Structure 1
Amino acid sequence: MTPTLLELLRRVDTPTVCNAIEVAQGKRGFDRFTRGTMLCSDPDGGAMVGYASTAKIAAVAPPTEPAEVIKARRMAYYKHMSEGPRPAITVVEDLDFPDCIGAFWGEINTTVHKGLGTSGALTNGVMRDLGDLPDAFPVVAGSVGPSHGFVHVREIGTEVEIFGLRIRDGDLVHADRHGALVIPTEVIDQLENAIRKLLETEQLILEPAKQDGFDFEAFEQAWAAFEAART
């Protein structure tokens, strides 16, 4: 991923990237995206882009393993989050889903993760402390709640599932208030051109539609130009 592509991905929303992947693939049917409505801690803060650092947690019931095992795994978790390719996104599956109660993502944990160099968090679980989370560290979560429950780390670096989207450690993820997707490795070299082509093509419809006097005849002409540009 080049610096130019990274900057562009941060400026566009996840639906745009979803469409651009199909442009790069030359067909419809891309399906590596989340299903259902997710919540964003900073809806106007733009997208987060990065390589996934994955883990699994649980919080409804207390851990049954010895305290020293839980502590060692917790430290291993933070070490994992501090390493790996950058930019990085922390992707955490709450195993209690859909009955999640433990807010792993509050003021302290988001600040720690930002300090360790991750660019945001994606989870099917709970976030809290809205209004006190650090700037430029968005959280896209399944719900909002007040408690941390018995939250503890179960797995580190394994494949996770977030709202129907399976994500492996190291996958390139794009996420915002619309949800998240995994960018296929094979389209990365074509993605910058695909995004720019998509944005230019959309203007063939958007610009005429915003003009005074726009009518069905004008729409027909604009749509014909739009269709021609997409083929």
Structure 2
Amino acid sequence: MDAALHDLLKSVDTPTVCNAIEVAQGKRGFNGFTRGTMLASDPDGVMVGYARTARIRAVAPPTEAPEVIKARRMAYYKYMSEGDRPSVCVVQDLDVPNAIGAYWGEVNTNIHKAFGLSGTLTDGVMRDLGDVAEGYPVVAGSVGPSHGFVHVVDYDTPVRIHGLDIRPGDLVHADGHGAVVVPEDVIAGLADAIATLMRSEAIVFDGVKGKRVTFDEFESIWAAFEAART
């Protein structure tokens, strides 16, 4: 992903990326996206980058020695501070569907932003909604007040977020709609696919927005739309 593609992906929403992947693949059936409703700390926030992954728990205290937990926590932070940029922090909460520990709030969003990450995608809990680091979006599974016994279980491992399997290094695009993993084989053609999608959708918008049309007029518009997107 070069800088131009990164900037383009930051300028569009996740549904657009889903549609563009289908354009690039020349078919429907792409399913590398989250399921269900997710919550966004910033309704306009978009994150794009390579996944840096981890898993956490918070319902019960850790059973390992405190020095082991502390060492793993610092190793996690070191891991998150490294790697290719742009990058997205992707954290699975192993307590889901009973997650209670908010790992994401004012403290951790500021830390991860300082590491140069683009945002966090998690099925876990976020809090401090008015104090999340500016320009650091969080897309989470729920909102709650407490951090519980939150601790890092492991990192740099495959995770699953709302039905979406994500491996370290996957290219992730996420916003308030949820998240998508961009397949490697479409990255090179994704900019052209987005341009094709925008041109085809413009035919419909130009034909119907703010207008009253007959079915015959719509039928002509739709035929032009279908011709343009193939």
Give the aligned CA root-mean-square deviation in angstroms: 0.7
Shift of 1:211: 4.3
Q: Which amino acid aligns with 1:13?
A: D
1:181 and 2:180 aligned: yes
Give 1:228 deviation, angstroms: 1.1
- What's the counterpart of residue 92 of structure 2? 93
Distance in 2, Cα, partners of 1:49 & 1:78: 20
2:211 aligns with 212
Verify the 8 A CA contact 2:44 2:175 in the aligned structure 1.
no
Within 2, Cα distance between the matches of 1:215 and 1:137? 46
Question: What TM-score results when the alignment is normalised by the length of structure 2?
Answer: 0.98
* Residue 19 (structure 2) aligns with: 19
Q: Which residue of 2 aligns with 1:69?
A: 68
Matched residue pairs, number?
230
**Is the CA contact (8 Å cut-off) linking 2:102 and 2:146 kept in structure 1?**
yes
User: Are the equivalent residues in 1 in contact too, given 2:123–2:162 (CA < 8 A)?
Assistant: yes
Instruction: Answer yes or no: is 1:223 the counterpart of 2:214.
Output: no
Cα distance in 2, alignment partners of residues 10 and 114 from structure 1: 16
Secondary structure, counterpart of 2:119 in structure 1 = strand
> Contact 2:33 / 2:181 at 8 angstroms: preserved in 1?
yes
CA distance, structure 2, for counterparts of residue 224 and residue 218 of structure 1: 10
Q: 1:230 deviation in Å?
A: 2.0
Match of 1:106 in 2: 105
For structure 1, list consecutive stretches of 5 or more residues without a partner in the other structure: none
Aligned residue for 2:59, secondary structure, equals: coil
The aligned residue for residue 159 of structure 1 is 158
CA distance in 2 between partners of 1:133 and 1:155 (Å) = 24
Q: Secondary structure at the match of 1:161?
A: strand
Are 2:124 and 1:120 equivalent residues in the alignment? no
- Which residue is equivalent to 2:147? 148
CA contact (8 A) 2:199 2:228 kept: no
The aligned amino acid for 1:155 is D
User: Identity, % of aligned pairs?
Assistant: 66
Aligned residue in 1 for 2:130: 131
Aligned: 1:196 with 2:164: no
In 2: Cα distance, 1:13 partner to 1:213 partner:
28
Deviation at 1:28, TM superposition (A): 0.6
Counterparts of 2:35 and 2:57, CA distance in 1: 21
Task: Provide the C-alpha distance between the structure 2 equivalents of 1:210 and 1:100, rounded to a whole number of angstroms.
Answer: 43
1:104-163 CA distance string (max 9 Å, x none): 001001000000110100000000000111111000000000000000000110000000
Cα shift at 1:70: 0.2
Moved more, 107-116 or 207-216: 207-216
After TM superposition, give the deviation of residue 216 of structure 1 in Å. Answer: 1.3
**Equivalent position SS for 2:37:** coil
